[in-house]
Amino acid sequence: MPVILQFHGGGFVSGSSDSVGNDLFCMRVAKLCDAIVVTVGYRLAPESKYPTAFEDGVKHPEEWRLERFLDENNDSVDLYKMMAFGGRKRAGSSISSSSIEQCVPEVVEEN
């Protein structure tokens, strides 16, 4: 089954992966795309300095471990049908591309 990683937007200073709006949006994407949508939260600035948000995209110290999800679901997850997307311009989009590269480098290098 395809997996879509979703990183909320907010310019690194606002937004949340567990907001009602984000949740409804992700449920709609999952239904329309017939895919697993995984929302990945990250700590926000200014409390958390660069590169904390990027590091959280792959390994959040307290709540989410993307690598663990991939390991636990490797039978149902097709890494060749994996995509990541984020907000409109900066934060979510930057983190999503960085995270996908770090989690599945062999897939990125082949394509």
CATH assignment of the domain containing 40: 3.40.50.1820
53: enclosing H helix or E strand: helix 52-58
Q: Given CA atoms 17, 19, 20, 21 in this order, what sign does their dihedral have?
A: negative
104 — phi, psi (to 5°)? -130, 65
Domain total for the chain? 1
The answer, as to whether pTM is greater than 0.75, is no
Range of the domain at 38: 3-110
What's the mean pLDDT when you consider all of the chain? 76
Residue 32 confidence class, pLDDT cut points 50, 70, 90 = very high
